Amino acid sequence: MIPLCLHDKEEIFSFLKKNVYLHIYSIGDLDDFFWDYTTWYGSRKEGELKAVILVYSGSYTPVLLALTDELSHMKDLISSIVHLLPPKFYAHLSPGLEELLRGQYRLKSFGKHYKMALKNRKLLSAIDTSCVIQLSKKDLGEIETFYKKSYPNNFFDARMLETNSYYGIRASSSLASIAGIHVYSKKYKVAALGNIATHPDFREKGFATAVTAKLCTSLLETVDHVGLNVKAGNEAAIHCYSSLGFEVVCHYEEYIAEL
């Protein structure tokens, strides 16, 4: 199979939107805000796209997204581009695809993760969000300090503050909880939540629920689909998101791959 390097946003979107929540990160990355940091690979059969892989290079370590309902086509595509991939990258893979990389890369697993989709929006209105504030670039220093203590291994990109989609709660004059996004696209009507955390001194007070509810309510003014990724063993987070109307729609595996 000969792989293709894809450049047509509409062709890519037409393929990805067949399963919005599986591909919600990739769809968001079609937006002009993210597009320049993306490389897209695909395979066609009889003129029709059958598999798409995204390599996102907007973070310190590139991220490969290879998620599919059709393993056979994706296996063929990965096999055909493995020599083109960066020497080190994070990978989000549908189960069974990791073996295609293992022969070339050392893989460290971060385990099974769920993709959750906001299905029952009515639950958001039951949450008191009166103490939630919107965050902006002027809060950057405080946000970075918060994440160092509350979520030290997170993937916070300060550029995301430009989307106006970060919310927080202050307690004792400092940030106690934050919810934000990894991707957002008004054009493609999708958002993927991320960087949701609460300071260790303020956990089990419902702060994460409140900031996430406020974020979702704000996002739904401009998007139709809201999703997120969560580690399968993170029961507290899954309970929080379920209480807001999120449901598990599929699972995948996360790895870091290095030559």
Same CATH topology for 4-114 and 117-249: the answer is yes
> What pLDDT is attached to residue 227?
98
- The confidence band for 156, taking pLDDT boundaries of 50, 70 and 90, is confident
pLDDT surpassing 80 at residue 185: yes
User: What CATH architecture does domain 117-249 belong to?
Assistant: 3-Layer(aba) Sandwich (3.40)
pLDDT, one tens digit per residue, over 52-84 is: 999 999 888 999 999 999 999 999 999 999 999
Helices 235-243/207-219 angle, 10° precision = 50
Average pLDDT score, the chain: 95
> What pLDDT is attached to residue 204?
86
Residues 61/175/141/211 CA torsion (nearest 10 deg): 50
> What pLDDT is attached to residue 157?
85
pLDDT surpassing 80 at residue 1: no
> What pLDDT is attached to residue 175?
95
Sequence spans of domains, the chain = 4-114, 117-249
pLDDT surpassing 80 at residue 138: yes
> What pLDDT is attached to residue 111?
95
Residue 158's CB: how many other CB atoms inside 10 A?
10
What one-letter code names the amino acid at 40? W
Which residues face 112 on adjacent strands? 253
- The confidence band for 88, taking pLDDT boundaries of 50, 70 and 90, is very high
> What pLDDT is attached to residue 154?
79
Nearest to 195 by CA among 233, 246, 226, 229: 229
What one-letter code names the amino acid at 130? S
- Helix (H) or strand (E) segment spanning residue 100: helix 98-102
Q: How far apart are CA 112 and CA 21, in angstroms?
A: 17
Give 246's contacts (C-beta < 8 A, 6+ positions apart): 116, 117, 118, 119, 228
For residues 209 and 244, is the Cβ–Cβ distance under 8 A?
Answer: yes
> What pLDDT is attached to residue 216?
98
What one-letter code names the amino acid at 246? F
User: What are 124's two structure tokens?
Assistant: 């958001």
> What pLDDT is attached to residue 58?
87
The matching CATH number, chosen from 3.30.70, 3.30.390, 3.40.630, 1.10.760, for 4-114 is 3.40.630
